Chains A and B, each alone.
Chain A
Amino acid sequence: MSKPLKQIHLAAHFPGVNNTTVWSDPAAGSHIDFQSFVHLAQTAERARFDFLFLAEGLRLREQNGEIYDLDVVGRPDTFTVLAALAAVTDRLGLAGTINSTFNEPYEVARQFASLDHLSAGRAAWNVVTSWDAFTGENFRRGGFLAQQDRYERARQFLAAAAELFDSWRGDEIVADQESGVFLREPDPGRFDHHVRQFDISGRFDVPRSPQGRPVIFQAGDSEEGREFAAEAADAIFTRHGTLEAGRAFYADVKGRLARHGRSRDELKILPGVTFVLGDTDAEARERAALIRRQQVSGQTAIRLLEQVWNRDLSAYDPDGPLPEVDPLLGEHTVAQGRASVRMHRDPLAVAAEWRALAEAGNLSIRELVIETTGRQNFIGTPARVAETLNEFVQTDAADGFILVPHLTPGGLDEFADTVVPLLQERGVFRTEYQGGTLRDHLGLAAPRAARATAPAVSGRAAN
């Protein structure tokens, strides 16, 4: 008999402000109306998903110096929506991206601790960093964080927040009405954190929350990101959507855990993936092609091309050939406020590769962009998709998936109704929640007690 079946973890990503989300479809609803969030969250909970995931926006994207208007624009505040969703769900985990550059640990820690209390233990935090002065223009902190300081800030932010979360053990409140003793001790919540990025001390004001700390996500693919995740995260939100890339990433990251004194089960690897279902595989492929055309209009194709070329290409015909000029090298000036832009490899290499593809397939700009960007990960009948998802998990390309529907708010309905029951039949996905907290759903133990603050990283206090 082979090893026991791994259980799949599933999450729903609220459709984002990029061209994966199709707003032009007649079935597309509001991205702001709270009822859209309620629909997606309750669908995910009905399907016994682990959690709902909400991204964050801190500045509207711009391209060629103007607000980018072809994708969904605008979103609500992450914390506020998650807290409201806690009122209309009972078990679903509530995960949100919160930036460590344009926030401070005391405030973020009290917000997550509060969310965890208000949801009875369902909060999760996707810790991200950014450094661009463009986003900084909306904040007191402003300006620029040198790229090498990004992960230092994130690491130190998370360590500071952990110290705050752990500053209450959980047994300080007695609230004995008879004796009049409310607190067991006079000074719970005490903290002292002096490192390069943060010089803070005092008393934290939110007593220990049900999960102790929120579940911690990391969402970067760089060397520093992987190391940060292996050291400090409970789950990784990745983009590796193919079996081979997934296995390689999985082996790499899981292999790092031992060095940090952690077991392989203590970090879940959850790629963000898209899917298209159909009654037959052929029908699903047709739908997928149609959705790709919705996602990549002619104008969108030009704009996406500009993000690689780093030039204004608005004069080009999307149904014509690729530009003959080369991408502009150096600092990206065309598209601002967009994380994906920073992830493009060497633009000249990408351009050469795309030209070759276009030539071989006689593809227009739009056809090429459809072909090379954002193809759906899982396309087929519910049975095929269920089988493929399961193969990814059982062969260690992932521990589960964060599903990114292309439609708001109904984009998960079909998956919940058709794929989830098949996974349940296979015995690889829960039919009922076994516990109340997100840590329970993810099979994560309660957080270990606070590690001692390493004096080696203390700098400022000594001065």
Chain B
Amino acid sequence: MPEPHAPLHLAVALDGAGWHPAAWREHDARPAELLTARFWADLVAEAERGLLDLVTVEDSLSLQSAHPLEPDERTDQVRGRLDAVLTAARIAPLTRHIGLVPTAVVTHTEPFHLSKAIATLDHVSTGRAGVRVKVSARADEAAHFGRRPAPEVRIEDFDTPVGLELLADLFGEAEDYVEVLRRLWDSWEDDAEIRDVATGRFVDRDKLHHIDFEGRRFSVRGPSITPRPPQGQPIVAALAHRDEPYRLVGRSADLGFVTPRDAADARRIVAGIRAAQAAAGRAEETVHIFGDLLVFLDEDPGAAAECKARLDRRAGAVYTGDARVFTGTPAELADLLQEWQAAGLTGFRLRPGALPYDLEQITRGLVPELQRRGIFRTAYEASTLRGLLGLPRPANRYATAGAVGATAAALA
């Protein structure tokens, strides 16, 4: 349980013009620039000015849709996006401290490709990479790849045996996928590159390791093509709304994003993830649990709620999402964050209702408020994302085995 005044961690979730479907119509929105590098660079620079731990970049393998599992044909909302990993890479050289955590779908993609992509993101950002792994239960995304049958499950079926089997399958595959990512990141020991002119050897091949993963959906031989990333293990994150993803967070992730409705809910969710973590033998490891909130902020009392009401009118519907919607002043949000922090959350991922307005309210309103309360950094204290999250650089799982092997060989 965190101390009442323990520093909290802050992330911002970037998606299009903001999380409200009508956000693109706000006067300071830049809806025609959503596919330009400049747009993303400006947002991440603002987040970095606010000393945030990290930004996440949303992604999926289908067009945005008002329906969670199916495409739609709406013409009044933002449609079209860029690959999140490449967007993060494009921003990396322009920033120095902030963590970059793109979303990647793990259901249809290759773990070998994603592993080297995130390792490379870590190299180009000198240690600030993470990845949020996301499963896909969408039939349209399956059809985009054409390699496996489309799941035929509706949202309301998720708690039936058929739905549960699908979720178990998807999250089981995700767990295998993360295992492959992690093994590949460790498949090069840190000092594998020796450049030994005397013997003509560029690498010490004893420090490169096949990973030999055999799973139900794939097997991967390894080693990675890309040397171990600066952080050793980039951050693995997952968004979790129910038991299957809670288990994924507890077993495999460094960071979970969860969506409690209130403090009691937060307490219950945290307990569930901590239990899964302990069951996986990871009780001693730091696993962060961030609460997700969709925020409309304004210094003027009532103005944020007015903004949301205005956007709701334009959208023709009251916006509700998977995460709790907060409208209020930065000080009121700070109160809520402290209350939820006391329930066991170690940080928050804020989803700005509209960009750039609500992001600036976070960096210029909320952050100074949290600093005044002594629970947020006043300068970046580390140069890697693991450092910002208080995670040590992990030992390489193969290095020990290698050392033992070498000893055994020496004794033989």
The residues of A with any CB-CB pair to B shorter than 8 Å are 23-24, 32-34, 38, 57-60, 66-67, 69-77, 79-81, 83-84, 86-88, 102-104, 106-107, 110-111, 113-115, 117-120, 137-140, 142, 168, 173, 175, 177, 180-189, 198-207, 297-300
Contacts and interface: CB of A to CB of B under 8 A. Distances in A.
B24 A182 contact: yes
Using C-beta atoms within 8 Å of the partner chain, give the interface range for chain B: 35 or more
B208 A60 contact: yes
B147 A104 contact: yes
B158 interface: no
A180 B80 contact: no
B195 interface: yes
A102 B111 CA distance: 12
Contacts of A115: 83, 86
A33 to B, nearest CB: 7
Contact of B221 (A106, A137, A175, A207): A137
Contact of B35 (A77, A107, A198, A207): A207
A200 B144 CA distance: 5
B359 to A, nearest CB: 19
A110 B200 CA distance: 41
A77 B117 contact: yes
Nearest to B194: A69
Interface string B74-86: 1111111111011
A186 B81 contact: no
A207 B80 contact: yes
B31 A67 contact: no
Contact of A110 (B78, B83, B94, B222): B83
A70 B36 contact: no
A77 B225 CA distance: 8
The 6 closest A-B pairs by CB, nearest first: A186-B73, A83-B89, A137-B221, A114-B83, A80-B120, A175-B31
A245 B85 CA distance: 42
B156 to A, nearest CB: 23
A107 B61 contact: yes
A205 B61 contact: yes
26 contacts: A24-B197, A59-B221, A67-B223, A73-B208, A75-B226, A77-B116, A80-B120, A81-B124, A83-B89, A86-B37, A102-B110, A104-B145, A111-B83, A118-B37, A118-B82, A118-B87, A138-B112, A139-B220, A177-B27, A177-B31, A181-B76, A199-B146, A202-B62, A204-B63, A205-B61, A205-B64
Contacts of A139: 110, 112, 218, 220
B86 A118 contact: yes
A392 to B, nearest CB: 33
Interface string B107-135: 01110110011011101101000000000
A107 B94 CA distance: 26
Given A180-B25, A182-B31, A67 B205 contact: yes
A70 to B, nearest CB: 5
A117 B27 CA distance: 24
Contacts of A204: 63
B32 A175 contact: yes
A414 to B, nearest CB: 23
B124 A84 contact: yes
Contacts of A137: 219-221
A140 B86 contact: no
Contacts of B223: 60, 67
Most chain A CB neighbours (cut-off 10 Å) among B64, B124, B143: B124
B110 A103 contact: yes
B227 interface: yes
Most chain A CB neighbours (cut-off 10 Å) among B94, B120, B121, B193: B120
